[in-house]
Amino acid sequence: MKKYFDVNSPSSVPLSLYIHIPWCIKKCPYCDFNSHEASISFDEQGYVDALIKDLEVELPHIWGRSIVSIFIGGGTPSLFSPESIDKLLSSIRAYLNFNSSIEITLEVNPGTVEANRFSEYKAVGINRLSIGVQSFNDKYLKLLGRIHTSREAEKAISICKGAGFKNFNIDLMFGLPSQNTNDALLDLSTAFDQLPTHISWYQLTIEPNTQFSFNPPNLPCDDNIWSMQKEGQELLKCNDFFQYEISAYAKKKFASIHNTNYWEFGDYIGIGAGAHSKITNFNDGKIERFSRHRVPKRYIELAGHSDVIAHKKILDSDDISLEFMMNTLRLTNGIPANLFFERTGLHMNQIKKELKYAKDRGLLDLCGDQIVASSHGQRYLNDLLEIFMK
């Protein structure tokens, strides 16, 4: 691959840090992330130490670059004590430069136990919470196998605000088993009352190898889900939540920095069991993806060694252009055309034919310097993306 990158300004590709905490009290039947039910105890201390050792190994790959965001996700990261989070963040601060407006998000479960820790999380440096509410209706919470109630969720949110978190996200799902449009919209209205800055509103989908895939629930029909989505999007808009990605809605200036970095094909280091990374090497222009061992016990053993990497792949130019599109076309407003070169180091000619084809089929708008999926293209994004597969 040719060296197209400007090697003198590696900072032109933003860098994020993702930290994976792989335990939950109970695995949800729809979840296909790398999470494990926490048995009586899990090695919290050992895992935090492992994460720090793991980060050290990564440092040579990101030398001199500052990070724009940290996301601690899971699993249920709020199972970890504020002391552990403190230790983790302190070490990271010692190793990495933080961008002045860095976003540091912690994913939390809206249970009573966790809520009592919110103010301490704030104190150790977390500046954004992502609260996994999923629904404000106990009927659906039960169907989804969640361990909290809607009351607990509302309480947790009020504690979150009381702790001084101005920036927080509520995760909500729609298209739940036997849900009607009314119930879906009611969940949104209840969320608005909590005054979040961000709502992730996404459709429940049955992923392979989840409990739901083996024992499928009775999901609403396509037509009903479609009307939920249309009416919900209208409601979000009326309440000043602007859609910026397929499933992400935010108040002005509160789009998640961390998620936006994914969608804009930025770089990220993922540490923790099963975490994925994508790093650009500015010396040779190569882009590499890799992931770590998934099983927590094994991860703890291997952290600090290069063996902790389970899979590694240097992307070829076809991979890069496809993955660039897979991410950026999810953005409601698309991206400026020059971002393609900035993030991939490849010339636009690489995808010229495909862009034209997609445009001719009404799936893509190329207005001025902006590349954006048309409304038709957003609706049939998978068909649009298929065009970029070689």
Partner 1 sequence: MPSLKYIRNFSIIAHIDHGKSTLADRFIQMCGALSDREMEEQVLDSMDIEKERGITIKSQSVTLYYEKNPKEIYQLNIIDTPGHVDFSYEVSRSLAACEGALLVVDASQGVEAQSVANSITAIDNNLKVLPVLNKVDLPSAEPERVQSEIEEIIGISAENILEVSAKSGVGVEELLEQLIQDIPSPQGENDAPLKALIIDSWFDNYLGVVSLVRIVDGEIKVGDKIRVMSSSRDFIVDQLGIFTPKRNPKKILSTGEVGYVVAGIKEIDGAPVGDTLTLAKAPADESLPGFQTIKPRVFSGLFPIDSADYESFREALAKLRLNDSALHYEPETSQALGFGFRCGFLGMLHMEIIQERLEREYNLELIITSPTVVYEVLTTSKKIITVDNPAKLPLSNTISEIREPIIVADILVPQTYLGSVITLCIEKRGVQKKIHYIGSQVSLTFEMPMSEVVLDFFDRLKSVSRGFASFDYTFLKYQEADLVKLEILINNEYVDALSFIVHKDFSQSKGRELTEKIKEFIPRQMYDVAIQAAIGSKILSRQTVKAMRKNVTAKCYGGDITRKRKLLEKQKEGKKRMKQFGTVEIPQAAFMAILHVGKNK
Interacting positions 284-313 with partner 1 (CB under 8 A): 289, 291
Q: Which is nearer to partner 1, 115 or 269 (CB)?
A: 269
Q: What is the rounded CA–CA span in Å between residue 327 and residue 332?
A: 11
Kindly state whether residue 212 participates in binding partner 1, applying the rule CB under 8 A. Answer: no
Q: Minimal CA–CA distance to 219: which of 30, 378, 31, 33?
A: 30
In the bound state with partner 1, the residue whose beta carbon lies nearer, of 353 and 379, is 379
User: Applying CB under 8 A, does 383 fall inside the site for partner 1?
Assistant: yes
Calpha distance 179→145 (Å, rounded): 15
Residue 246, interface with partner 1 (CB under 8 A)?
yes
CA angle 111/201/34 to nearest 5° reads: 60
**In this structure, what are the phi and psi dihedrals at residue 276, rounded to the nearest 5 degrees?**
-105, 145
Q: For partner 1, which is the closer residue by CB, 327 or 350?
A: 327
Asked if 382 is part of the footprint of partner 1 (rule: CB under 8 A), the reply reads yes
Query: Is 386 among the residues that bind partner 1 (CB under 8 A)?
Result: yes
Judged by CB under 8 A, which of 5, 121, 268, 282 binds partner 1?
268
Quick one: which segment of 62-70, 94-102, 300-308, 375-383 binds partner 1 (CB under 8 A)? 375-383
State how far the Cα of 6 lies from the Cα of 276, in Å rounded to an integer.
25
Between 39 and 222, name the residue whose CB sits nearer to partner 1: 222
Contact residues for 161 (Cβ-Cβ < 8 A; gap 6+): 168, 194, 195
Q: Could you say which of 10, 14, 18, 159 contacts partner 1 (CB under 8 A)?
A: 18
CB of 343 to partner 1, least distance (A): 14
Of 18, 166, 199, 27, whose CA–CA distance to 106 is shortest?
18
Told to check if 229 binds partner 1 by CB under 8 A, we report yes
Q: In this structure, what DSSP letter does residue 331 have?
A: B
What sign does the dihedral 192-193-196-202 (CA atoms) show? negative
Alpha carbon 339 to its chain centroid, in Å, reads: 21
Q: Is 33 in the site for partner 1 (CB under 8 A)?
A: yes
Provide the binding-site residues for partner 1, judged by CB under 8 A: 18, 33, 202-205, 222-223, 225-226, 229, 246-247, 259, 262-263, 268, 270, 275-278, 289, 291, 322-323, 326-327, 330, 361, 376, 378-383, 385-386, 389
